């Protein structure tokens, strides 16, 4: 199992989102929901808006540009969204959030 450091747990408060680069050119939106950490592609599949400018409610991520929504656990569409969101597995270990590959 390969893992890539995304950020420290302390860098993303509950209810916040943080955009990070993985080092291989991929940009990821790290979300700290009340139920834990999630990661997804950094930009909306609709028109490329930065998802870290969106909002989080439980495990629902909303892009503020056109109000597309997704379930962060699965990437499934909710509401108006017409395309799935690419989500990535993460692991919290020793105070850090890692992308798992």
CATH number at residue 50: 2.102.10.10
The domain tally of the chain equals 1
pLDDT tens for 26-72 read 999 999 999 999 999 999 999 999 999 999 999 999 999 999 999 99
Three-class secondary structure of residue 101 per DSSP: coil
- How many whole angstroms separate alpha carbon 97 and alpha carbon 50? 20
Q: What domain range includes position 86? A: 3-100
Instruction: Output the pLDDT for position 23.
Output: 86
Q: Is 9 helix (H, G, I), strand (E, B) or coil?
A: helix
Q: Are 53 and 64 in contact (CB under 8 A)?
A: yes
Which of the four pLDDT bands, split at 50, 70 and 90, describes residue 2? very high
Residue 71: CB partners within 8 Å, gap ≥ 6? Answer: 59, 60, 78
């Amino acid at each position: 199992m390969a893992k890539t450091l995304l950020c420290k747990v302390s860098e993303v408060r509950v209810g916040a989102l943080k955009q990070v680069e993985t080092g291989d050119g991929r940009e990821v939106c790290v979300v700290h929901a009340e139920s834990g950490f999630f990661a997804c592609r950094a930009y909306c599949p609709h028109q490329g808006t930065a998802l870290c400018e969106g909002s989080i409610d439980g495990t629902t991520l909303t892009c503020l540009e056109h109000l597309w929504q997704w379930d962060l656990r699965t990437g499934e569409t909710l509401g108006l969204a017409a395309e799935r969101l690419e989500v990535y597995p993460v692991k919290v270990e020793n105070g850090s959030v890692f992308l798992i590959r």
